[in-house]
Amino acid sequence: MPFIPHTEADIAAMLKAIGVARIEDLFDEIPEGLRAGRLTQVPEALSEMEVARLMQERAEADGRYACYIGAGAYEHHIPAAVWQIVTRGEFYSAYTPYQAEASQGTLQLLYEYQTMMASLTGMDVSNASLYDGASALAEGVLTAVRSQKQGRRILVPRSLHPVYRRVVDAIVRNQKITLVEVDYDRRGGHTTIEALEAARTDGCAALVIPQPNFFGVLEDVDALTDWAHARGLRVIACVNPTSLALLKAPGRWGARGADITVGEGQPFGVPLSSGGPYFGFMACKQEFVRQMPGRIIGATTDKDGRRGFTLTLQAREQHIRRSKATSNICTNQGLLVTAATIYMSLVGPEGLRRVAAQSHANTGALVEKLTAIPGVARVFDRPVFHEAVLRVDLPVAELLRALEAQGILGGYDLGATYPELGQALLVCATETKTAADLDQYAFQMERIVSKRRLDPPCAQKM
């Protein structure tokens, strides 16, 4: 926030106005024995110029990298106006809008956010966000189980983000809900009907469908959705919101559409920020609205006929139902939702399509350049959005270290979670990458792979 200097005269005037002789008198209720005293370990103050130089040196020490990791968190361009508006005091310090008469600005923003997310996902209604994509999926699972009495087993593809799978299991397992793993096709990287039939058991309540999945592969969502509905299962779509600018909305999957849609909202105006904070989104069909956690903002009119906004539905525990609440989510990531709302408003539908299309094109160009290198090949043969899996003929960890030394964060090592893929690397390119960036990545990759081929480990040891 802006620096507001207080001169000695300013401080004296304020103390006089409240009838206090000195600042210490404001804290006289604190016993002397509990006071910290002087802060002897705090260094001397620096001038503005000295602070700027210190911070610049620290930033340079961190290095500047071209990021191709993806894997659930994406580097997109964020218009400067987004966070310039978000950090205004009206938004930055706003608390949850319990009192509608004092919170019209916050309520209107959340209403606009819900409207845009419902439109983007093709769902009837959206809540006002959750903690992150993984916990949003867990809430989607709980919603699906509450909405029908068929069972407490959830079909979850292995092609779903591995962190999401772990988070969901941690949240739902003590509620006697079991996740049933569904394997993926080794050639296409997608979930097949045959795999679903092999995994399905009695008591299944829902099927989770990632689109695109963790490998970047596009699933056959229409067939999967219709298969689930034909067997009485709810369909939970877990989607990348940027992809929805190009791909079919979950509300239009198959004959009836998905029942619940969740995902990570970070691509919409939220910087990578070393992993957070992010926010999760959740939308559903009208028939499940009372099973959906969080709050829903509605538009109404006051006694004079003027448009206003209010909390229409809030399934929160601390001031409504406590232990009988729909879910204990406590609050939402309001500041991040503010950023997403402003981002979507500034970029607009056409801008979002351009972001998605350029990201897809850049990943396609990158994969084409990299697979032209001997020893680098695509793993799956199905279409992708803006991520793809490559196999290399050297240890991925070694390759990533070498790329990082050249200022490139080359991708995500899949070895720990998908060892059956061998030395496999997940790469991602968004609209932030130029043709020169892609050429530099390919050049460094070829140099590293070629050196490894000409100078194998056994030769190094000799």
Q: Does the pLDDT value for residue 319 go beyond 60? A: no
Beta strands at 387-392 and 424-428: parallel, antiparallel or unpaired: antiparallel
Q: Does the pLDDT value for residue 460 go beyond 80? A: no
The predicted structure's pLDDT at residue 44: 87
Average pLDDT of the chain is 92
Per-residue pLDDT, averaged over 387-391, amounts to 98
The amino acid sitting at 142 is: L
Q: Which fold has domain 66-76+354-461?
A: Aspartate Aminotransferase, domain 1 (3.90.1150)
CATH 3.90.1150.10 positions along the chain are 66-76+354-461
pLDDT per residue over 266-305, tens digit each?
A: 999 999 998 889 999 999 999 999 888 888 899 999 889 9
The predicted structure's pLDDT at residue 459: 47
Q: Are 161 and 210 in contact (CB under 8 A)?
A: yes
pLDDT per residue over 188-227, tens digit each?
A: 999 999 999 999 989 999 999 999 999 999 999 999 999 9
pLDDT per residue over 338-349, tens digit each?
A: 999 999 999 999
CA angle 204, 209, 215 (to 5 degrees): 130
The predicted structure's pLDDT at residue 320: 58
The predicted structure's pLDDT at residue 462: 43
Beta strands at 387-392 and 376-378: parallel, antiparallel or unpaired: antiparallel
CATH 3.40.640.10 positions along the chain are 80-344
Six-digit token pair at 22?
């000195």
Q: Does the pLDDT value for residue 252 go beyond 70? A: yes
Report how far residue 254's alpha carbon sits from residue 229's, in angstroms, rounded to the nearest whole number: 9
Report how far residue 271's alpha carbon sits from residue 432's, in angstroms, rounded to the nearest whole number: 13
Q: Which fold has domain 80-344?
A: Aspartate Aminotransferase; domain 2 (3.40.640)
The predicted structure's pLDDT at residue 444: 98
Q: State the DSSP code for 356.
A: H
Cβ-based neighbours of 124, under 8 Å, separated by 6 or more: 118, 251, 283, 284, 285, 286, 289
Q: What are the phi and psi torsion angles at 205 (to 5°)?
A: -105, -30
The amino acid sitting at 378 is: R
pLDDT per residue over 64-101, tens digit each?
A: 899 999 999 999 999 999 999 999 988 888 777 778 88
Q: State the DSSP code for 44.
A: P
The predicted structure's pLDDT at residue 227: 98
Q: Are 331 and 280 in contact (CB under 8 A)?
A: no
Among 107, 55, 109, residue whose Cα is nearest residue 85: 109
Report how far residue 243's alpha carbon sits from residue 177's, in angstroms, rounded to the nearest whole number: 30
Among 165, 158, 110, residue whose Cα is nearest residue 135: 165
The predicted structure's pLDDT at residue 455: 72
Q: Are 126 and 281 in contact (CB under 8 A)?
A: yes
Q: Does the pLDDT value for residue 60 go beyond 90? A: no
Report how far residue 367's alpha carbon sits from residue 388's, in angstroms, rounded to the nearest whole number: 7
Beta strands at 260-264 and 412-413: parallel, antiparallel or unpaired: unpaired
Length of the chain: 462
Report how far residue 47's alpha carbon sits from residue 382's, in angstroms, rounded to the nearest whole number: 57
The predicted structure's pLDDT at residue 456: 62
Provide the pLDDT confidence category of residue 331 given band limits of 50, 70 and 90: low
Cβ-based neighbours of 249, under 8 Å, separated by 6 or more: 120, 121, 122
Q: Does the pLDDT value for residue 127 go beyond 60? A: yes
Provide the pLDDT confidence category of residue 123 given band limits of 50, 70 and 90: very high
The predicted structure's pLDDT at residue 67: 96
Provide the pLDDT confidence category of residue 318 given band limits of 50, 70 and 90: very low
Q: What are the phi and psi torsion angles at 442 (to 5°)?
A: -60, -40
pLDDT over 70, % of the chain: 94
The predicted structure's pLDDT at residue 100: 80
Give, in order, the Cα–Cα distances in Å from 259 to each of 281, 287, 401: 14, 9, 43
Beta strands at 260-264 and 280-284: parallel, antiparallel or unpaired: antiparallel
